[in-house]
Amino acid sequence: MLIKIYFFNFIFYFSILFFGIFCTPVLVSRYYTRLVVRYWAKTVLFLLKNILNIKIHFHNKYLEDNKGQIIAANHQSAFDTIFFLAAFDKTIYIIKKELIFIPVYGWYAMRLGNVFINRRKKIESTKKLSKNIYSFINKGYKVVIFPEGTRQQSNLIGNIKPGVYLLQNILKIPIFPVYICSGNTWPKNSLKMKKKNIFIKSLKPIPYGLTKKKFKLNLKKSLEEGIKKNVNS
């Protein structure tokens, strides 16, 4: 298993280097950039399945293809960002502004249309970018936000940041929770993966109109219950 992990890591990081250097010209077109990134993401999932024998179970009841929706997902590992790129044709993320300056990643992130939030001015930044986000939703994009703000340890849900509630209040649309159990497979801050299956499930949407406190409680409770069910199953 250890040899397979090293082999997977080699291909994974080599693919990042390859696409970063040889596919840079596609950055002139958002359409072709999206195709390249989605192909890369699907390749990573293929390698997880066929090299490490890790199965990915996606139970989807509420997310619709080609329909704009805001996804609020828990965040455990690097897998989480890769998955949504592979699962849906049009996906962007709401991420921290500092990521722009990471070589290769930042180039692609900008060209894909990801929304960058200034964490020092979250409220002002969210209000300013809400029109841009709404435009993506109208074009059928999945807009993904990790409301915990950073990766958490396996089977834990961190505090829900206020940004996702503020965004819902501005746009007046439902938020679709998605829980992801990937931390046991791809541990935080570790290159060593484990042969454990990954579970993803879309949950009942949270409607617009709740108080801030009730919204955050509902979202956290939904994600916690989803993870507990998988842990106990």
Domain spans, the chain = 55-232
pTM of the predicted structure, to 2 decimals: 0.90
pLDDT (tens digit, 0 to 9) for every residue of the chain, 233 residues total? Answer: 778 888 888 888 888 888 777 776 566 678 888 888 899 999 999 999 999 999 999 999 999 988 999 999 999 998 999 999 999 999 999 988 888 888 777 878 888 889 888 767 766 777 778 888 999 999 999 999 999 988 887 778 889 998 899 999 999 999 999 999 998 888 777 767 888 899 999 999 999 999 999 999 999 999 998 777 665 45
- Token pair in block for residue 190: 């570790």
- What pLDDT score does 25 carry? 58
Name residue 200's beta-bridge partners. Answer: 58, 180
- What pLDDT score does 198 carry? 93
Contact at 8 Å (CB) between 182 and 79? yes
- What pLDDT score does 108 carry? 84
Phi, psi dihedral angles at 29 (to 5 degrees): -130, 125
- What pLDDT score does 230 carry? 66
- What pLDDT score does 36 carry? 86
Question: Tokens 């962007």 sit at which residue?
Answer: 92
Report which of 228, 150, 149, 155 is spatially closest to residue 189, judged by C-alpha positions: 150
Report which of 43, 4, 36 is spatially closest to residue 19, judged by C-alpha positions: 36
As to burial, measured by CB atoms within 10 angstroms (0-12 exposed, 13-18 middle, 19+ buried), residue 123 is exposed
Which is it for strands 198-202 and 175-181: parallel, antiparallel or unpaired?
A: antiparallel
- What pLDDT score does 27 carry? 64
Report which of 46, 87, 94, 91 is spatially closest to residue 180, judged by C-alpha positions: 87
How many residues are given for the chain? 233
